[in-house]
Amino acid sequence: MTNVFAGKNIILGVTGSIAAFKVAGWVSTLAKEEANVSVIMTDSARRFVTPLTFEALSGNKTYCSMFGSSDRDSMAHISLGREADLLLIAPATANTIARLANGIADDLLTTTALVTRAGVFICPAMNSKMYSHPATVTNIRKLKKIGYHVLDPAHGMMACKEEGEGRLAEWDDVAEYLAKALTEQEFIGKKVLITAGPTREPLDPARFLSNRSSGKMGYAMARSAFRRGADVTLISGPTALSCPTGVNRIEVESAQDMFDAVLKRSGKTDIIVKTSAVADYRPAKRAEHKVKKEQIEPHLCLKQNPDILYELGKRKTEGQILIGFAAESQDLRAAGMRKLKKKNLDLIAVNDISGTNSGFESENNQVLLLFSDGSVDLPHTSKQHTADLIWDKIVLLS
Ligand code: PMT
């Protein structure tokens, strides 16, 4: 993935919750991504984890007090707040949330929060009764009004052996919101519809026709569009992947299901990206009961599926951008150009599936981009990086 964290000054405020140990892993990940992480700990946070843990992981001093021995230490709230690209407070206790909501500045973390003009992200972590108490609910509402981003805690079993809302959010989700905050919002206000994965064409209750698409390329396209500020709907065939953060996923099974889901939304969409590998044919009849193996052959009579992208090309509205994908093992340029024209596309990403380290299922891809008036050869790289490079080109079309 394009490294959005490299060189960014991220202040992590750690407050007194048992979940403090979890954010040690977050610091380690951010440091590996080459972010410059400075940790501020409250007094209660130091009862759970030592400052040394964060110093070792971040490679930077951990700040614990308003009043230090050096000039920089005694003005830390000013210098840290001024230089920050992001302030992340995790885990954030009910007490810290209350102090922040009321502008109380009685320690280094809360004063830094008042000084900084960078985005502030807050990850509450507490017992579910504390989280749902009207005082906490009111304070969180106030924080949102101020413009702080409060990320919902997860649901589950907590250290106090109660189950409910209040567990610290998962890093993968938090990381996506932070990455979005550090990314240029080129697609703000744009509705983007992406299809991903294979379709399954049922023969009977046990069997189906399908293909090797894993959905990785389409999900990477969705992740990258979310980061750039788009309102993303992902129409996905069956995959083993979890829904990317911030994306609205609609799960479908067959080509006909995908056709219906896409066509229902396409008119109100600014950019449509068809990454999915749609089955061209389906069994002409779906048997109600499992077909006996001796009778399979007569049941393998096929019927053509609708071509969703061709239909979208016909219905393309003024200013709408239509992007197709193609998986080809030979004559990439000629095959891609034929599809670009036939389906009335603005861009087609032709995936080279002649090798094993690209195309279906692989983590990486090798893609040739074709426009009506030119082409770009993308490097062999990860699917996430490929997606970022494709969106860089889509920006130029919009
Ligand atoms: O999912 P992964 O494992 O990450 O793999 C990614 C991928 C290789 C599947 C993907 O990047 C890719 O190349 N997708 C297109 C696969 C393909 O072969 O498409 P096609 O040549 O059959 O179709 C061309 C375009 O028309 C595609 O955008 C397709 O979504 C669309 N189409 C095709 C048939 C059909 N009935 N309806 C369609 O909309």
CA distance 222 to 248: 10
In this structure, the answer to whether residues 375 and 344 fall within a common structural domain is yes
Residues 138-176 have pLDDT tens digits of: 999 999 999 999 999 999 888 888 889 999 999 999 999
Q: Whose CA is nearest to atom 37 of ligand 1?
A: 307
Which CA distances in Å does 117 have to 150, 262, 308? 16, 41, 46
Structure tokens that stand for 225 in this block = 């569009």
Task: Please work out whether the CB of residue 371 comes within 6 Å of at least one atom of ligand 1.
Answer: no
Please work out whether the CB of residue 77 comes within 6 Å of at least one atom of ligand 1.
Answer: no
Give yes or no for residue 326 CB within 6 A of ligand 1: yes
307-343 pLDDT tens trace? 999 999 999 999 999 999 999 999 999 999 999 999 9
Q: Do 146 and 284 have their domain in common? A: no
Residue ending a domain, choose from 138, 157, 181: 181
Q: Is the pLDDT of residue 103 over 90?
A: yes
The answer to whether residue 211 sits within a structural domain is yes
Q: How many domains does the chain have?
A: 2
Q: Of ligand 1's atoms, which has the minimum distance to the CA of residue 367?
A: 11
Q: Report DSSP state, residue 37.
A: E
Same domain (yes/no): 125, 221: no
How does pLDDT run across 168-183, given as a tens digit for each residue?
Answer: 999 999 999 999 999 9
Say whether pLDDT at 244 is over 70. yes
| Phi, psi angles (nearest 5°) of residue 366 | -130, 115
Residue with token string 């599809």: 339
Residues 244 and 322 in one domain: yes
Same-domain status, 39 and 126: yes
Map residue 281 onto helix, strand or coil. strand
Pull the structure tokens for residue 233: 């709907």
64 classed as catalytic: no
Ligand 1: centre distance to CA 308 (Å): 11
For residue 4, tell me if it sits in a domain.
Answer: no
Both 150 and 204 in a single domain? no
Write the CA distances from 250 to 135, 193, 253, 367, integer angstroms.
36, 11, 10, 26
**What per-residue confidence (pLDDT) applies to 298?**
85
From CA 49, how far away is CA 221, in angstroms rounded?
Answer: 38
> What local confidence, expressed as pLDDT, does residue 73 receive?
65
* Whether residue 205 sits in one domain with residue 153: no
With a 6 Å cutoff on the Cβ, whether 361 touches ligand 1 is yes
pLDDT higher than threshold 80 for residue 253: yes
**Residue 317 belongs to a domain:** yes
Task: Dump pLDDT digits (tens) for 277-314.
Answer: 999 999 999 999 999 999 998 889 999 999 999 999 99
Say if 17 falls within a structural domain.
yes
* pLDDT greater than 70 at residue 200: yes
The single residue of 64, 160, 243, 301 carrying the catalytic annotation is: 160
Residue 52, pLDDT above cutoff 60: yes
Query: Which of 158, 181, 204 is the last residue before a domain boundary?
Result: 181
Q: What are the backbone angles phi and psi of residue 174, rounded to the nearest 5°?
A: -60, -45
Total-model pTM: 0.94
Q: Note down the domain range covering 268.
A: 191-397
Quote the percentage of the chain above a pLDDT of 70: 98
The helix (H) or strand (E) run that includes residue 273 is strand 271-274
d(CA 30, CA 52) in angstroms, rounded, equals 17
Residues 350 and 240 reside in one and the same domain: yes
Query: What's the pLDDT band for 110 if we cut at 50, 70, 90?
Result: very high
Ligand 1 atom showing the smallest separation from residue 359 Cα: 8
* 165 and 232 inside one domain: no
Report how far residue 218's alpha carbon sits from residue 252's, in angstroms, rounded to the nearest whole number. 14
Residue where one domain finishes, among candidates 141, 156, 181: 181
Segment (H or E) for 304: strand 302-304
